Chains A and B, each alone.
Chain A
Amino acid sequence: MPLFEVRGLTHYFGGLRAVSDFNLAFEGGELVGLIGPNGAGKTTIFNLICGVYRATRGGVKIEGQNLVGLFPHQVTALGIARTFQNIRLWPEMTVLDNIRVAHNYRLSYGFLDTIFQTSRYRKEEDEIDRKSEEVLDIMGLRDYAEELAKNLPYGLQRKVEIARALVIRPKLLLLDEPSAGMNLSEKEALIGLIRWIRREFNLTIWLIEHEMRVVMNLCEKIQVLDFGETIAQGRPEEIQSNPRVIEAYLGKEID
């Protein structure tokens, strides 16, 4: 059984077919890229998987468990974490609180435990504190723990966002344009970071990326999307020379 499987995923926005018959399977441990021109439907696919939209047709499964129709927090609890194209931290919270709140998916205590501060509550909060600080240490963010998220520079915000996703202990990590808005040296650092967390946390990573340097450097396999349809897939060097991909990005040559 594959770790993660998408079968015939199709989605309409009104009359517009945003994604049509998308297929994919991960055995586990891959690092795969999803590319395509603007508006090709890449982020829509991520949103369909996370439960932001409900797919019109098709199935998504992680370890055999169907995801279509679940709420986003339920998808998260099954081991899928993501980052966003334009960073979506909670800006008015400290970095540490950003990490803490991400533990909500597995809270075992309820409202009354918080009010009476039962031993179950205290035990779990201590555990959350410990784990949050551990994640910050691993990611080298300890010094910024008490900083408000909005006050961090862009590159660090991205790092916090990835740290927040790692809290969930994901089996599959979705990265939506992680290098967007970064300068050259930040991009280099990002490539290193993604390789490192993949090894460290034993992750399967699926990323959307516009920056070809990042995609070609990182990914073992690439899938290309145009107008919601898969037009090519394969190893980076195959993709680079694929005429349909060149056509999608640059347009057709006039005879």
Chain B
Amino acid sequence: MKRYSLTFLALGFFILAVGLSWAGVLSPYLQLILMFVGVNIMMSSSLNLVNGYMGEFSCGHAGFMAVGAYTTSLLTVWFFTTGSVFGPNLLAPAWAIVLFPFLLLFGGLIAALAGLLVAFPSFRTRGDYLAIITLAVNYIVKSAIENVQPIGGARGFMGMGRVISGMKEVADLPWMMIWTWIFAFLTMLLIKRFVSSTYGKGIIAIRDDEIAAEIMGVNTRRAKMVAFMLSSGLAGLAGGLFAHILGYINPGSFGIMKSTEALVMVYLGGMGSLSGSVLSAVVFTLLLEVLRPLQLYKWVVVPLILILLMLFRTEGLLGHRELTDSFPHLKRILGLKEKGHASL
């Protein structure tokens, strides 16, 4: 009840984005950027779970994105298209409409299992050492894919475009816009619910004082496993969407550069702030596009902006706070409950 207007806001945005894409008002380029915003929101807010809320430093987020991207893509291409890798399609291409979200979730599930690669070492080590482990996992995933020749190796994997065409033959809708934003909103809702539960606050307790958390009854091992799996699972979902938006993936796009982008968005928005992560994903994605005319100099200007931000606003755009903490009147406008943990 209390978050009606926020739901309406999300719904309004969704209808607008999908409607304008469908009507052709938004150019394919603008649609692409809008979908990347959605994917980046998923990437930054899921990484924030580990780096912001739990206070660990994971810098291999793109590795999990790759796991999700490849798992989902391989399955959709195998099921719905005829190609050189898997031969004829197993199911009629029209089935993609029904099965796509499930295959996406399956990709997320596999990515979540890959997250255990990081969760187990995190029982014994933290800080810089764990950061190096996450980095290593990123490289392991990338190199592993590069060396599996049947799925294209370093050259990459494609065919997802035909899966989407299959959906469009049934109903001519901007399918990827629809799925991207459905999953982006679900991600936000899920993280919001998780971190405002007593169960999820256990991971904030780990950040603030792990020994106290353990002694005061938080099962820290389980909490870390849940947090890492949730975080990498959501990154896997983002990867699956990313792959189908582009229609082509290669291991090179899931390297350390991609992980760094996710890190930048988390620190730009503010650690432990969900609305910060969403805001920074929007700002960062748009910034990169606006600065595109600068070509290569973009990578001088963007880091410079970041350096300045870190110098003058160390805690990121929103710090540990949420949007409604910084602008209290938003709460009234959005119809949030005044008291307690219902901040956005």
Give me the interface of A with B, judged by CB distance under 8 Å: 50-52, 71-73, 76-77, 81-82, 84, 88-93, 97, 100-107, 109-111, 113-115, 117, 121, 124-125, 128, 164-165, 168
Q: Are A107 and B198 touching (Cβ within 8 A)? A: yes
Contact, CB under 8 Å: B215 / A109:
no
Kindly name the residue among A51, A71, A91 whose own CB sees the greatest number of chain B CB atoms within 10 A.
A71
Expressed in whole angstroms, the Cα–Cα distance for A52 and B214 within the complex equals: 9
- Return A51 CB to nearest CB of chain B, in Å: 8
Q: Which residues of B contact A107 (CB under 8 A)?
A: 198-199
Of A109, A114, A165, A168, the residue contacting B194 (CB under 8 A) is A114
Residues of chain B within 8 A (CB-CB) of A100 are 198, 201
Given A105-B216, A115-B194, A168-B217, list of 14 further CB < 8 A pairs?
A: A73-B218, A73-B219, A76-B215, A82-B215, A89-B208, A90-B204, A97-B201, A100-B201, A102-B217, A104-B202, A109-B199, A111-B230, A114-B197, A125-B198
B190–A115 touching, CB < 8 Å: yes
Q: List the B residue with the shortest CB-CB distance to A92.
A: B208
A104 near B219 with CB under 8 A, answer yes
Name B199's contact: one of A73, A111, A164 (CB within 8 Å).
Answer: A111
Query: With A88-B211, A90-B204 known to touch, is A102 a contact of B216 (CB < 8 Å)?
Result: yes
Q: How far is the CA of A84 from the CA of B205 in the complex (A)?
A: 15
Report the Cα distance A154→B52, complex, angstroms: 27
Q: Which residues of B contact A91 (CB under 8 A)?
A: 208-209
What 0/1 readout, one digit per residue, does chain B (185-222) give for beta carbons within 8 Å of chain A?
Answer: 00000100110011111101101110111111111110
Min CB gap B300→A, angstroms: 35
Q: What residues of chain A lie closer than 8 Å to B190, measured between beta carbons?
A: 115
Closest to B203 in A: A101
Q: How many whole Å from A217's CB to the nearest CB in chain B?
A: 27
- Chain B residues within 8 Å of chain A by Cβ, number: 30
Is B132 engaged at the interface, CB distance under 8 Å to the other chain?
A: no
**Cα-based distance from A104 to B264 in the complex (angstroms):** 32
Interface residue? B226 (CB, 8 A): yes
| B320 interface residue per 8 A CB criterion | yes
Given contacts A101-B201, A101-B202, contact A115 B193 (CB under 8 A): yes
Identity of the chain A residue whose Cβ is nearest the Cβ of B200 in the assembled complex:
A114
B199 and A92 within 8 A (CB): no
- Can you list 18 A-B pairs, Cβ within 8 angstroms, ordered by A? A52-B214, A73-B220, A88-B212, A90-B205, A91-B209, A92-B320, A93-B208, A101-B218, A102-B216, A105-B216, A110-B199, A111-B226, A113-B199, A114-B194, A114-B199, A114-B200, A117-B193, A165-B216
Cβ of A9 to closest chain B Cβ, rounded Å: 18
Mask for B168-195, Cβ within 8 A of A = 1, else 0? 0000000000000000000000100110
- Give complex CA distance A71, B205 in Å: 17
Give Cα A109–Cα B226 distance, bound, in whole angstroms.
14
The 8 Å CB contact of B204, one of A93, A117, A124, A168, is A93
State the CA gap A90–B54 with chains docked (Å): 12
A114 near B219 with CB under 8 A, answer no
Give Cα A47 to B341, complex, Å.
34
Q: B201 to chain A: which residues have CB within 8 Å?
A: 93, 97, 100-101
Shortest Cβ distance from B126 into chain A, in angstroms?
A: 16
Q: Which chain B residue has the least Cβ–Cβ distance from A106?
A: B217
Q: Do A52 and B198 touch across chains, with their CB atoms under 8 A apart?
A: no
Interface residues of B in 300-344 (CB under 8 A from A): 320, 341
Cα(A71)–Cα(B214), bound, Å: 8
Chain A residues contacting B226 (CB-CB under 8 Å) are 111
Contacts of B199 in A (CB 8 A): 104, 107, 109-111, 113-114
